[in-house]
């Protein structure tokens, strides 16, 4: 893996480990993260510190992957998908001292539809499908399809 540091008007990549044949489109902000071989990161995506993206993944435009998100290999993330790592947010200054990371794991081969929201602490199972616009509040079993708000088995 190559370590990238790029600062230009259309892209900011700081301390990003990038595999071979990775495509990173313009208007991406990524820092202290890892992107596996043959993956693609679309326009207007943010990858925060500690994000790990496996091989042959596709993260479509306008998606936000916050600290604690791990995508295993061959994961598809649709346009505008939002991941959450704090299930009890607060604007109070003291919250910064008590905040606990709620990581998200997306297992191999899963697909997440456009505009879905994935709450912290959730695991999306191997080859599972999350429908467009779903709000995932609980783990999704391997091979399952979930839809709706909140997401339920289809």
- Closest alpha carbon to 16 in 74, 65, 61: 65
Mean pLDDT of 128-135: 98
Q: Could you tell me the CA-to-CA distances from 114 to 37, 81, 106, 127, 132 in Å, in that order? A: 23, 6, 15, 17, 5
Above 80 in pLDDT, residue 94?
A: no
The predicted structure's pLDDT at residue 9: 73
The predicted structure's pLDDT at residue 4: 76
Burial of 90 (C-beta count, 10 Å sphere; 0-12/13-18/19+): exposed
Catalogue all structural domains in the chain, each as residue range(s) with its CATH number: 2-89+99-153 (2.160.10.10)
Which pLDDT tens digit goes with each residue over 38-55?
999 999 999 999 999 999
Residue with tokens 């959450």: 84
Above 90 in pLDDT, residue 73?
A: yes
The predicted structure's pLDDT at residue 149: 97
- Average pLDDT over the chain reads 94
Mean pLDDT of 58-74: 98
Phi, psi of 97 (to 5 degrees): -85, -20
What is the distance between the alpha carbons of residues 63 and 18, in angstroms, rounded to a whole number?
A: 18
């Amino acid at each position: 893996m190559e370590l990238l540091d790029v600062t230009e008007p259309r892209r900011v990549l700081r301390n990003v480990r990038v595999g071979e044949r990775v495509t990173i489109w313009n208007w991406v902000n990524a820092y202290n993260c890892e992107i596996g071989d043959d993956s693609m990161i679309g326009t207007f995506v943010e990858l925060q510190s500690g994000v790990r993206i496996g091989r042959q993944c596709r993260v479509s435009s306008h998606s936000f992957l916050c600290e604690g998100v791990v995508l295993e290999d061959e994961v598809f993330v649709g346009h505008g998908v939002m991941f959450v790592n704090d299930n009890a947010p607060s604007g109070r200054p003291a919250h910064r001292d008590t905040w606990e990371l709620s990581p998200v794991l997306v297992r191999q081969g899963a697909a997440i539809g456009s505009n879905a929201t994935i709450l912290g602490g959730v695991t999306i199972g191997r080859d599972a499908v999350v429908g467009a616009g779903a709000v995932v509040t609980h783990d999704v079993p391997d091979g399952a399809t979930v839809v709706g708000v909140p997401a339920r088995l289809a």
